Amino acid sequence: MSHPPYHLRKNKAADRFALIEAIRRLHKLGAELEEYTYYGLGGPYLEDMRLIYEFCPEIPMVSIEDNNETYRRQDFHRPCAGVTLKLQQTDMKSYIALYEPKERKSIFWLDYTELEYTCFDDFITLLGKITAGSMVKITLRADPKDYWYNPRLKKKWKVEEFSKKFEALLPNQSAYPPWASQDFAYLVQEMLQVASQQALPATASSLSFQPISSFYYSDGTWMFTLTGVIWPRNDKAAVERAFNGWEFANLSWARPKLIDIPDLSTKERLRLQRCLPRSKSRGAILRAELGYLIDEDVSKTEAALEQYAAFHRYFPYFFRGIP
């Protein structure tokens, strides 16, 4: 089975590091990390498991994979012993159907590459089972080109198909999917908000899905990712205290933040590193530090460098080496 090299994609890497930082803030909700178990679709290289083992080694992990050859590659690439990382050969839907938290807190990453109703269904089912204090992250394809031929002409293609397929999740059932990537990502977020309310209705559950961050980025195609915690709906202030002050916090279902890290050489990054962190005029200051443009004009250069300033701690280094 062929897989894109997700471990080498910088925007996806920033999304992973943002998850690590969110996990490391969970203790502010009153639980230690060893009380959690991480569940994810690790892919052939188990990159998210490697990072969790490196930064949060006290968390036991479960990787879920249904493809036999990918499962064998995972066993080859496992970053730690089986007592810390268990490999399960099954699909996520089947795993969630049998999942029993047994009062133990969980961290799930539903890392999908498509946008299908079954993905939302998995999300809804999981929220109905998972215990308070747990974290759920879901990643979905969010590319408007899947539904529009030409965004400039706004020519309808599969918009009717989209509206019919996701009718039960749309905040406005008469609206067509937008053609702009940022607007489409926001629509997917709104659909997940509807799904979370269906899973944990205010009239029947004392718990709610409280968002803590959301991003959209291009990973060969446009993707959207949302992270939140399951928490008593009458104690939202505790979640705000735990995640407020984090630059990437989204605690109110606001629009998702773009991840679009520019390509920079190691030498450029080391030059810029001494100017960070900063809270204001970051793009302009970094452009002046470099002394030249890295994009078409000043505005685009400063926007790109603002992205670097925001995500520079999450920006991985890729090196060519001889094994």
The whole-number pLDDT of residue 180 equals 93
**pLDDT value for 2:** 44
* Closest of 49, 56, 47 to residue 5, by C-alpha: 47
Residue range 123-144, pLDDT digits in tens = 999 999 999 999 999 999 999 9
pLDDT, residue 152, reads 62
Helix (H) or strand (E) holding 53: helix 47-55
Question: 3-class DSSP state for residue 93?
Answer: helix
pLDDT digit string, tens, across residues 270-279: 999 999 998 8
pTM score:
0.91
pLDDT at 315: 82
Quote the CA–CA distance of 119 and 48 in Å, as a whole number. Answer: 20
Ordered structural domains, the chain, with CATH: 6-259 (3.40.50.150), 266-314 (no CATH)
As given in the structure block, the two tokens for residue 319 are 């090196």
DSSP letter (8 states) at residue 113: S
Strands 135-141 and 61-65, sheet pairing: unpaired
Higher pLDDT, 137 or 103: 137
Task: Please state the rounded mean pLDDT for residues 181-190.
Answer: 96
